[in-house]
Amino acid sequence: MPELLSAYCFTDLDRLPLLRERLKVRAGELDLVGTILLASEGINFSLGGEPAAIDAWVDYLAAEHGIQALIINRSVVETVPFLRLKVRIRPEIITFDPDLRPGQVPTGKALSPRQWHALIEGEEVQLVDTRNHYEYEIGSFKSAVDPNIDSFTEFRQWALDHLKPDQPVAMFCTGGVRCEKASAWLLANGFDQVFQLEGGILNYLREIPAEQSLWQGDCYVFDDRVAVDHALQPTGRVLCAACSRPAEGLDASGMPPIGLQRDCGLCGEQFDAGRLAGLRERVRQIALARERGQTHIGPQAQPEAAQRHQDWSSR
């Protein structure tokens, strides 16, 4: 069965346009699909393909480009949740603060899933979900604080306003990359004890049995699975065809309930007549594709909304 590999590494990279082309060629040779983000600070990617191809890709990064300290999440999937390969150059592999370089400055203490479990179960810590509100809303750790942010860059001001520098902070995100920057930023701004979940939520779900778990709900993921359960299996959630966020109250195609005033019954967003017509047509095309047996779910089926909310730099 195919596998999905999500990983990141903060390491100095240069000649990015050339590197982009080399990675694109090699991933293509291995029939890997997904998204690769490159920046001078490192690499962040999620790729799907055959297990042997995944192994070859990891070996290639280490042997040819010196990218050896990858933080990896790897899992078996029934279907690769990507349609094509994208390799992009960005100012940062996770948009937060371009002057903050994990690997060059201290970051929080990374805890294994077992260590993390013991910490948040037995000690008084400020347990913080660094993800966006729409991610928190469908699942999080028991007793975790929701910063209620729409963008990761908002976390900095929220932390200054709400967290206590003299008390331990335990933070987590989907795969760990957001916490690298958030923890470095806290340490640089007077926080003494900062812990982070190594490999993020996905690593915890893989390592901790469901009957012992402190995780509640689904985990949002940045691919066509939309969300996974504790067994890392897709839960069948859909994204709103308008805003590309998971929400309760959507039909199977992701169409939100629209009122007489062309307003969304879930969030209140107003639609003009043209946009609403386009939204309904896209949903109709998705339904037709599904009837033909084609896989058109999640962000890949909603390119306009995905551009706003599936940007990998927000992971």
Active site residues: 173
DSSP string, 14-83: --HHHHHHHHHHHHHHTT-EEEEEEETTEEEEEEEE-HHHHHHHHHHHHHHH-----EEEEEE-SS-S-S
Contact status, residue 244 vs residue 302, Cβ threshold 8 Å: yes
Do strands 3-10 and 71-76 pair parallel, antiparallel, or not at all (unpaired)? antiparallel
Do strands 126-129 and 169-172 pair parallel, antiparallel, or not at all (unpaired)? parallel
- DSSP structure class, residue 257: P
Q: Strand 71-76: give its sheet, edge to edge.
A: 71-76, 3-10, 42-49, 33-39, 85-89
CA distances for 25 relative to 21, 30, 46, angstroms: 6, 9, 16
- Give 101-106's long-range contacts (Cβ < 8 A, gap of 24+): 101/10, 101/41, 102/10, 102/41, 102/180, 102/181, 102/184, 103/10, 103/11, 103/12, 103/41, 103/42, 105/184, 105/187, 105/188, 106/184, 106/187
> 3-state class of 234 per DSSP?
strand
Q: What is the largest CA-CA distance in the chain?
A: 60
